[in-house]
């Protein structure tokens, strides 16, 4: 019998976030599988699904409104995961995709202008952490979730974005707009200072660890 694994989906359309995948893998002793559905056309996600005990979907420069084939493939996989109660964590694009699938609105925040940097985010109390927490996280996006989908609750907020995170009321699904998985190469490309990166990396890693602990305990 094959060992269970965590499926990491990287929807990058230009530069794969291999460093972020390696970072996620360093936080668990369980095998992580890496998938690039926008760049490599194969059935790796479908092939690995029977051995998957958790899914992490990272960011992308693509929009959930693009209606591309690889996006439909991810949605199909997520629906199957939801049916099987497999825990899901959506980050940035993953956050927006899940909200979009469940009927939430995803719209431009800044008139087609992408913004990037760091911001202070407040995590509201839920089952991943016992009390509300506030910390700095990296962001890089143009669109955002502008209405909470049915069956979800808002799990994080900031002064800049009212829906920074979502949690499903009955299913093991969590999402975050900020890049909690970001590593130094990502921060460097987005002109984020080393000091800001280090602070954000620490807080983001804390959130990632909580999700991984939940699905591997």
User: What residues act catalytically?
Assistant: 92, 179, 181
Q: What is the number of alpha carbons within 13 Å of residue 64 lying toward its C-beta?
A: 29
What's the angle, vertex CA 132, arms to CA 153 and CA 129, rounded to 5? 80
Instruction: Please state, in angstroms and as integers, the Cα–Cα distance from residue 170 to each residue in 127, 150, 209, following that order.
Output: 12, 11, 21
Q: What six digits make up the tokens of 45? A: 């996600």
Residue 150 CB neighbours (<10 A): 9
**Do 187 and 139 form a contact (C-beta atoms < 8 A)?**
no
Instruction: Please state, in angstroms and as integers, the Cα–Cα distance from residue 101 to each residue in 63, 148, 175, following that order.
Output: 13, 12, 13
With CA atoms as reference, report the closest residue to 15 among 193, 188, 197, 175: 188
Residue 61, strand partner residues: none
**Do 133 and 123 form a contact (C-beta atoms < 8 A)?**
yes
């Amino acid at each position: 019998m094959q060992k269970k694994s965590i499926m990491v989906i990287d929807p990058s359309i230009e530069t794969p976030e291999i460093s972020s995948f390696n970072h996620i893998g360093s936080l668990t002793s369980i095998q992580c599988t890496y998938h690039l559905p926008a760049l490599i056309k194969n059935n790796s996600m479908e092939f690995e699904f029977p051995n998957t005990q958790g899914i992490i979907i990272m960011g992308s420069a693509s929009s959930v409104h693009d209606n591309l084939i690889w996006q439909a493939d991810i949605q199909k996989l997520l629906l199957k995961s939801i049916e099987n109660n497999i825990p899901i964590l959506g980050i940035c694009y993953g956050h927006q995709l899940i909200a979009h699938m469940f009927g939430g609105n995803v719209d431009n925040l800044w008139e087609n202008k992408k913004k990037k940097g760091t911001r202070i985010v407040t995590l509201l109390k839920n089952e991943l952490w016992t009390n509300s927490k506030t910390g700095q996280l990296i962001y890089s996006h143009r669109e955002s979730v502008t209405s909470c989908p049915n069956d979800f609750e808002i799990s994080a907020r900031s002064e800049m974005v009212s829906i920074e995170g979502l949690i499903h009321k009955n299913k093991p699904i969590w999402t975050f707009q900020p890049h909690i998985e970001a590593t130094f190469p990502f921060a460097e490309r987005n002109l984020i200072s080393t000091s800001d990166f280090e602070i954000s990396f620490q807080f983001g890693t804390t959130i990632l660890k909580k999700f991984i602990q939940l699905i591997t305990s």
